[in-house]
Amino acid sequence: MIETYKYPDTDGKFGEFGGTYVAESLIATLEELKEAYKNAQEDPEFKREFDYLMKEYVGRENPLYYAERLTEKLGGAKIYLKREDLNHTGAHKINNAIGQGLLTKYMGKTKVIAETGAGQHGVATATIAALLGLECKVFMGAKDAARQELNVFRMELLGAEVITVDQGTATLKDAVNEAMRYWVQHMEDTHYVIGSALGPHPFPQIVRDFQSIISKEAKAQILDKEGRLPDKVVACIGGGSNAMGMFFNFIEDKDVELIGVEAAGNGIDSGKVAAAINRGSVGIAHGAKMHMLQDDNGQLQGTHSISAGLDYPGIGPEHSFLFDTKRASYEYASDKEALKAFQELSRTEGIIPALESSHALAYVMKIAPELPEDEIIVVSLSGRGDKDVEMVKAELEAGKND
Amino acid sequence: MTKKRIEKMFAKLKGTDDKAFIAYIMAGDGGLDTLPYKIKTLIDAGVDLIEIGIPFSDPAADGPVIQKAGIRALEENVSLRQILKKLREIKDDIKVPYVLMTYYNPVFHYGLREFTKDAEASGVSGVIVPDVPLEEEPELKNELDAAGIAIIRLATLTTSDERLEHILDEAEGFIYAVTVNGVTGKRAGYSGEVFDNLKRIKSKSGVPVCAGFGITSADAAKALGEHCDGVIVGSEIVEMFHRCEEEKIKNLIPKKHAGHAK
């Protein structure tokens, strides 16, 4: 069992996972980033600025809300929601974007690039670019850009340039590749704001650290409200930044069960999933060793999830490690279950959750009724569902016609 | 010890004061059955070493030409396993050394030991794995060492002097000197910085240094070749094969003092 948790190690590894699997051309920039991040961590001025923006701009701390009506309806464990959906821009993504935006300035760079799937991280990066006066380009798969037209406009409104990517499957993984290619040619003045706890070292660590404010707050809040730690902490997982943020400050509390919920798409055995741990194997892509969906020849596979934010074939290397060491377990929820949870929370609590977060909620709704009333579950409500209402409407109408 | 074939090739060229011309092709582009023909075409054109590209779904270090070639190969369902099998069938006909250029995951997924065994049986002299820098090299190198297959390292414009020393220490085959900060594919020209960097690497290297990325003409090949031991041409050759203009490949190769070293 993990007593004191000190990862990544000096080689950027979480056990066997993570690392720096990148072209030699990127090494110098990653070294620069490592150095800058180390200095920033020790710089009280950097911390002060981050804390200031978290409070005044993002609106933290956000509540740990006791979902009393949902708890009563399910008739089991007490359910608390960590309200990342109340952040400025509507999701946890902004925590990391602000941290990396400040880091960009700290390194004396003037431009940022980002990849985005659904557009949430793109919007968050465009937002901080506007705030901090940075030039911003966002890479987005052509397919994603077509199905998230409004988010493309939102980014443009914020002053960012959206570059659509036709290569490969024209989705998130290809946007990552293209952002990497662009970065290698523009490293001198450009920082790549990776949006999830993924990629080569030190990115998984940086993203986790900036997101760990979620569990730092949640831990203090639950101790304040309940006088004890929760029994279970639950978060949805795509690349895994909200889950890493939600887990991090509980890792050493070994009695707290950590549960990630992957996207089971059309059903966990349908072949149309985005469940890297439940249906993938260990491989190397996008700079790190991690679990990922791949075929018999080591080619990354296409994914499916109703939630664009979970629609990625890999999972952050630290999750691979937490899984491997059995510190966290990884469950799943299907599109249908997520849709049901989406509606359920809307009706019982008046909170419309993001489809991503709905996966975590679906799992909680499944287990809570079986658990005793004195059990406590904290679930990360990673984002709000306004962005998803059109999609949900279409899905529900299609469902009626089935 | 197939990597010896690389050393012999460079030694022979040195004898006539010639530079190596290294060609990259994407295995499986146009179907795997075309591989023997492509290799023969390159040898007939005067190529000294062949880099055989392995298609990968996420080629983050490649520009558009090689990305598309990789997608075409994947659409033909070509795999590393099949490519090695094909090479094994024709290895006695390939009179120049050849190396694999592959992203790491197809190799990792194959199993490092099994891959090494099969690569050795297929006459592969070396491997170039662009997403395995020095830091991540040991697990692969341990296997390849036992089979005498070279792991060919890359050095770039941004590689510091201190790091370069580590890269050159125990380097095998040759050093792949990346001439641009970027991905594979066409470039307008080269700056003095590129030549200076080649000189820097060359002055410290115990193995031959070859320049690659962005070379599209015999003139560029000749200019770069003056500062190192050879050049690598990829995208341009991939494109020529794709357009069925392979007769033009020989025009990319600067004239040698000696006849083609076979």
pLDDT surpassing 50 at residue A181: yes
Chain B contact present for A190, CB below 8 A: no
Q: Which residues contact A175 (CB under 8 A, 6 or more apart)?
A: A115, A116, A117, A139, A140, A141, A144, A165
* Final residue belonging to a domain, choices A207, A231, A248: A207
Count of the separate structural domains present in chain A:
2
In the block, which residue shows the tokens 């109408």?
Answer: A397
Q: Same domain, yes or no, for A50 and A158? A: yes
- A2: confidence class by pLDDT, cuts 50, 70, 90: low
Q: Same domain, yes or no, for A108 and A203? A: yes
Q: Is there a contact between B105 and A25 if contact means CB atoms under 8 Å apart?
A: no
Q: Is the ipTM of this complex over 0.90?
A: yes
3-state secondary structure of A254: coil
pLDDT tens digits, residue range A291-314? 999 999 999 998 999 998 898 999
Q: Residue A278: inside a domain, yes or no? A: yes
Chain B contact present for A162, CB below 8 A: no
Q: Same domain, yes or no, for A304 and A341? A: yes
Ordered structural domains, chain B, with CATH: 4-252 (3.20.20.70)
Neighbour-count burial of A329, counting CB atoms closer than 10 A to its CB (0-12 exposed, 13-18 middle, 19+ buried) = middle
Q: Residue A71: inside a domain, yes or no? A: yes
pLDDT tens digits, residue range A189-203? 999 999 999 999 999
Q: Same domain, yes or no, for A154 and A279? A: no
Chain B contact present for A141, CB below 8 A: no
Q: Which residues of B touch A294 (CB under 8 A)?
A: 105, 109
In this predicted structure, what is the pLDDT of residue A204? Answer: 98
Q: Same domain, yes or no, for A220 and A150? A: no
Q: Same domain, yes or no, for A261 and A316? A: yes
Question: Peptide bond preceding B236: is omega within 30 degrees of 0, i.e. cis?
Answer: no
Q: Which residues of A touch B156 (CB under 8 A)?
A: 23-25, 28
Q: Residue A263: inside a domain, yes or no? A: yes
Q: Of the candidates A176, A296, A299, which has its C-beta nearest B57's C-beta?
A: A299
* Residue A188 annotated in active site: no
Q: Same domain, yes or no, for A250 and A376? A: yes
Chain B contact present for A285, CB below 8 A: yes
In chain A, which residue's Cα lies nearest the Cα of B157?
A: A25
Q: Is there a contact between B80 and A299 if contact means CB atoms under 8 Å apart?
A: no
Q: Residue A122: inside a domain, yes or no? A: yes
pLDDT tens digits, residue range B228-241? 999 999 999 999 99
Q: Same domain, yes or no, for A286 and A274? A: yes
Q: How far apart are CA B2 and CA A12, in angstroms?
A: 34
Question: Closest Cα partner for B231 from B243, B219, B247, B245?
Answer: B219
Average pLDDT of span A321-345: 98
* Final residue belonging to a domain, choices A207, A229, A247: A207
Q: Residue A7: inside a domain, yes or no? A: no
User: In angstroms, what is the C-alpha Rg of chain A?
Assistant: 20
* Residue B76 annotated in active site: no
Q: Same domain, yes or no, for A142 and A174? A: yes
Chain B contact present for A167, CB below 8 A: yes
Query: Can you give the residue range of the structural domain that contains A111?
Result: 13-55+93-207
Q: Which of A147-151, A194-198, A228-232, A274-278 has the lowest mean pLDDT?
A: A147-151
Give which of A299, A300, A320 to mutate to test B binding, by max B Cβ within 10 Å: A299
Q: Residue A265: inside a domain, yes or no? A: yes
Q: How far apart are CA A286 and CA A22, in angstroms?
A: 8
Q: Both tokens of residue B181?
A: 């900060």
* Residue A93 annotated in active site: yes
pLDDT tens digits, residue range A247-264? 999 999 999 999 999 999
Q: Residue A5: inside a domain, yes or no? A: no
* Final residue belonging to a domain, choices A182, A207, A232: A207
Structural contact between residues B33 and B77, judged by C-beta atoms closer than 8 angstroms: no
Give which of B71, B105, B140, B197 to mutate to test A binding, by max A Cβ within 10 Å: B105
- Please state, as a whole number, how many other Cβ atoms lie within 10 Å of the Cβ of residue A59: 12
Average pLDDT of span B74-83: 97
Q: Same domain, yes or no, for A71 and A174? A: no
DSSP assigned state of A274: B
pTM summary value: 0.95
Chain A contact present for B109, CB below 8 A: yes
pLDDT tens digits, residue range A104-119? 999 999 999 999 988 8
Query: What's A67's domain CATH number?
Result: 3.40.50.1100
Query: Average pLDDT of chain A?
Result: 95
- Please state, as a whole number, how many other Cβ atoms lie within 10 Å of the Cβ of residue A325: 13
Average pLDDT of span B101-123: 98
pLDDT surpassing 70 at residue B213: yes
In this predicted structure, what is the pLDDT of residue A147? Answer: 79
From residue A56, alpha-carbon distances to A41, A49, A51, A61, A62 in Å are 21, 10, 9, 10, 12
In this predicted structure, what is the pLDDT of residue B188? Answer: 65
Q: Same domain, yes or no, for A149 and A226? A: no
Q: Residue A1: inside a domain, yes or no? A: no
In this predicted structure, what is the pLDDT of residue A402? Answer: 60
Q: Same domain, yes or no, for A277 and A163? A: no
